[in-house]
Amino acid sequence: DIQMTQSPSTLSASVGDRVTITCRASQTISSWLAWYQQKPGKAPKLLIYDASSLESGVPSRFSGSGSGTEFTLTISSLQPDDVATYYCQEYNNYYSFGQGTKLEIK
């Protein structure tokens, strides 16, 4: 099975900051990676798929990059509405999620 490791586990940043979350795969997954945002009590929401494609309706401050084993999710200018837990997911070989990164506002 492919293991997905996110870092950091918790992140605190100020409104307007540039925020980066990293996801590493235990073996190469090409670009078969998605990012999700989950707010408390809600279902996850797809943000990015195929490593860098922005899902329709998602603000352009979200972007994804990477291939192979290392990937990043970047929020170019953090907004209060972005407080959530973020998960990466590989779909190269079945499906595995990272453990999540909780994003807070300072």
Partner 1 sequence: EVLLVESGGDLVQPGGSLRLSCAASGFTFNSYKMNWVRQAPGKGLEWVSFISSSGNSKYYADSVRGRFIISRDNAKNSLFLQRNSLRGEDTAVYYCVTEGGSGYYPDWGQGTLVTVSS
- 62 near partner 1, judged by CB under 8 A: no
Least distance (Å) between residue 16 CB and partner 1 = 28
What are the Cα distances from residue 65, in Å, to 1, 15, 73, 74? 23, 22, 7, 8
Least distance (Å) between residue 2 CB and partner 1 = 11
Contact residues for 38 (Cβ-Cβ < 8 A; gap 6+) = 44, 45, 84, 85, 86, 87, 100
- 52 near partner 1, judged by CB under 8 A: no
- 98 near partner 1, judged by CB under 8 A: yes
- 23 near partner 1, judged by CB under 8 A: no
Selection from 106, 105, 98, 104 nearest residue 44 by Cα: 98
- 104 near partner 1, judged by CB under 8 A: no
φ/ψ bin of 44: left (φ > 0), alpha (ψ from -120 to 50), beta (otherwise): beta
Which residue type is seen at 28?
T
Least distance (Å) between residue 91 CB and partner 1 = 3
Of 2, 11, 17, 45, the residue at the interface with partner 1 (CB under 8 A) is 45
Return residues touching partner 1 (CB under 8 A). Answer: 1, 32, 34, 36, 38, 43-46, 49-50, 55, 87, 89, 91-92, 94-100
